[in-house]
Structures are given as C-alpha cells and as structure tokens.
Amino acid sequence: MQAMRWLPLEANPEVMNQFLKQLGVGSSWQFVDIYGLDPELLSLVSRPVSAVLLLFPVTEKYELFKAEEEAKIKSHGQNVDSSVYFMKQTISNACGTMGLIHAVANNRGKLDFENDSALKKFIDDSLSLSPEERAKFLERDESIRVTHESSAQEGQSEAPSLDDKVDLHFIAFVDIQGHLYELDGSKPFPVNHGQTCEDSFLEDAIEVCRKFMQRDPDELRFTLVAFSKA
C-alpha cells in the first residue's frame, strides 16, 4: 500500500496562524518570524516563547549525524518526561503540520481553544495513544487533512505537486518540565537537549538550531519561527 502524501506546508507564520485558527486554536499565541540568530534579532521576538519550529534541508551530512545520534541515545539512554506529547510521522510532507501539532499539544495548558476546536479534540482523543498510534490517528483525521491541504496552497511560493521530491523538513522544539526537547516524527523518539527555562528557552533552542546550520555550512535553506505570546 502506497504511503499517504500531503503537499508541504510553507514556513510562513501567516499561513501557520491561519491554519491554527481554522482548527479552533485561539490567537493568544502566534507564530512569528525569527530573522536571525544574533542577540539583537532575537530581542525582536516577543516573549515568552513556548515553541520554536525549524525548517532545514535533509542532506547526506544530516542523515549521517541523525544515524549516529540515534545509535548514541539507544546505547546511553536518555530521560524523557512522560508528559511529552510525541507522534511519529507516517504521512509524506506532513512535517509542517506535525510541527504545529507538537507545538500546540505540548503547550495546550497555556492556549485557549474554541469549544468545537478540531485540533483540541484530536489532541485530547490521542493523549493516551502511543506515538505510532497517534500517527495512524492523524491519517484518519479529515479536518486536519483538509486544513493542511488548504494551508499548503496559501503562502508566497507556488505549492509543488504531490509527486515532487521535497528535501526540506520541519521539527519542533519545546520546553517540558524544564528540559528542551526536539520533536521530529521521523525519529524514533524525542531528543532531550538538556535543561532550559522560560527565560532562556528561545536562546537554548537557537543554540541547537545553530548546530544544524554548522553541520551544513554551505546550505542557506534554514527557516526559524517562534510560537510566542501575542
């Protein structure tokens, strides 16, 4: 059976905010652009920040690092808080929506939702599921699929066709119980990047993102957005 494919989502805060609005998420938190990694540009991002999304190119160097990182974690182990909401990705090109779900699900206590919010219902109904079961649950969720499809047609660049090979990937960073977690549905588990706090979360997440860029110094296709208090 052929794997499901969606159109890729653009790393555009306007599109992301509209996506969440359509799924019944209130506007008290909004996605905003991060224009650069230096302190002056980071100071332009309104605080607090509850999640950071990184769009980056999947290259051979990254794939090699990813395999080494997975082997190291499996060998040495890591602590992952039981409250982390993590889901596997089984739908091609759905990583943008996965990033949004990871950002919202892990900050659901801070957000306001409409009474009939489709995204809140999805999160509530999948809380007791495993990461793999959540992936299957997403495959069957029509409201999120339809919203993703319409959002993928928005934005400033022309949407590619479903058959186009896309080598860009979204991941999310969140603060759970004072630890910085990387949530990537293409990995077998969340990655704990160590301690953080609300005041330093943005800078701590940026330091991890900086390493992604340093691994591929010739690449320019990196985009960062923050989920911050409006």
Residues with catalytic annotation?
Answer: 95, 169
Cis peptide before 217 (omega within 30 of 0): no
Contact (Cβ atoms closer than 8 angstroms) between residue 49 and residue 107: no
Q: Can you tell me which residue has the tokens 């119980």?
A: 177
- Quote the DSSP letter at residue 157: S
Collect all residues with Cβ–Cβ distance below 8 Å to 153 and sequence separation of at least 6: 7, 159
User: Which residue is it, tokens 């302190």?
Assistant: 39
Q: How deeply is 156 buried, as exposed, middle or buried, from its count of CB atoms within 10 A (0-12, 13-18, 19+)?
A: exposed
Helices (H), 48-130: 60-76, 95-105, 118-126
DSSP 197: -
Q: Which tokens hold the place of 169?
A: 């990937």
Q: Are 185 and 113 in contact (CB under 8 A)?
A: no
